[in-house]
Amino acid sequence: MRWYRWLALVPAIGMLGGVPFVNRVEPWVFGLPLLLAWVLVWVLLTSATMWLIYALDRRHERRAEQSGA
Protein backbone atom coordinates (compact mmCIF):
# COMPACT_ATOMS: atom_id res chain seq x y z
CA MET A 1 0.00 0.00 0.00
CA ARG A 2 1.33 3.40 -0.94
CA TRP A 3 1.90 5.87 1.89
CA TYR A 4 -0.28 8.63 0.45
CA ARG A 5 -3.38 6.45 0.54
CA TRP A 6 -3.34 6.89 4.30
CA LEU A 7 -4.42 10.48 3.59
CA ALA A 8 -7.93 9.09 3.15
CA LEU A 9 -8.16 8.80 6.94
CA VAL A 10 -7.61 12.53 7.48
CA PRO A 11 -11.16 13.64 6.50
CA ALA A 12 -12.78 10.96 8.64
CA ILE A 13 -10.68 11.88 11.65
CA GLY A 14 -11.26 15.58 11.07
CA MET A 15 -14.99 15.29 10.61
CA LEU A 16 -15.65 12.93 13.50
CA GLY A 17 -12.85 13.97 15.83
CA GLY A 18 -13.74 17.64 15.79
CA VAL A 19 -17.45 17.27 16.51
CA PRO A 20 -17.13 17.34 20.32
CA PHE A 21 -15.22 20.63 20.07
CA VAL A 22 -17.58 22.40 17.66
CA ASN A 23 -20.91 21.00 18.83
CA ARG A 24 -22.58 24.33 19.50
CA VAL A 25 -24.92 26.65 17.68
CA GLU A 26 -22.91 29.84 18.05
CA PRO A 27 -20.80 31.30 16.56
CA TRP A 28 -22.37 31.45 13.12
CA VAL A 29 -20.12 30.88 10.10
CA PHE A 30 -21.49 32.20 6.80
CA GLY A 31 -24.99 32.04 8.26
CA LEU A 32 -24.60 28.42 9.38
CA PRO A 33 -24.26 27.04 12.90
CA LEU A 34 -20.66 26.11 13.69
CA LEU A 35 -21.27 22.34 13.58
CA LEU A 36 -22.94 22.49 10.17
CA ALA A 37 -20.17 24.71 8.81
CA TRP A 38 -17.59 22.25 10.19
CA VAL A 39 -19.21 19.31 8.40
CA LEU A 40 -19.53 21.32 5.18
CA VAL A 41 -15.86 22.29 5.23
CA TRP A 42 -14.83 18.67 5.77
CA VAL A 43 -17.04 17.50 2.89
CA LEU A 44 -15.17 19.91 0.62
CA LEU A 45 -11.79 18.90 2.08
CA THR A 46 -12.70 15.24 1.53
CA SER A 47 -13.16 15.92 -2.17
CA ALA A 48 -9.83 17.73 -2.31
CA THR A 49 -8.08 14.91 -0.46
CA MET A 50 -9.52 12.24 -2.74
CA TRP A 51 -8.43 14.28 -5.78
CA LEU A 52 -4.90 14.50 -4.34
CA ILE A 53 -4.76 10.74 -3.81
CA TYR A 54 -6.02 10.20 -7.35
CA ALA A 55 -3.38 12.56 -8.78
CA LEU A 56 -0.60 10.85 -6.83
CA ASP A 57 -1.82 7.45 -8.04
CA ARG A 58 -1.79 8.63 -11.64
CA ARG A 59 1.74 10.00 -11.24
CA HIS A 60 2.92 6.73 -9.72
CA GLU A 61 1.36 4.74 -12.58
CA ARG A 62 2.99 6.95 -15.22
CA ARG A 63 6.39 6.56 -13.59
CA ALA A 64 5.95 2.80 -13.42
CA GLU A 65 5.01 2.66 -17.11
CA GLN A 66 8.00 4.78 -18.11
CA SER A 67 10.48 2.75 -16.12
CA GLY A 68 9.01 -0.56 -17.30
CA ALA A 69 8.96 0.40 -20.99
Q: Residue 24's pLDDT is what?
A: 84
What is the C-alpha to C-alpha distance for residues 27 and 63, in angstroms, rounded to an integer? 48
- Per-residue pLDDT tens over the stretch 6-60: 999 999 999 999 889 988 888 998 899 999 999 999 999 999 999 999 999 998 8
How far apart, in whole angstroms, are the C-alpha atoms of residue 44 and residue 67? 35
Q: Taking the domains of the chain in order of start, what are their residue ranges? A: 8-62
Distances in Å between the Cα of 45 and the Cα atoms of 8, 15, 29 are: 11, 10, 17
What is the model's pLDDT at position 69? 57
Give the CA count within 13 Å in the CB-facing half-sphere of 32: 11
pLDDT at residue 65 in the model:
82
Is the pTM for the entire model greater than 0.85?
no
Residue 3 is predicted with a pLDDT of 86
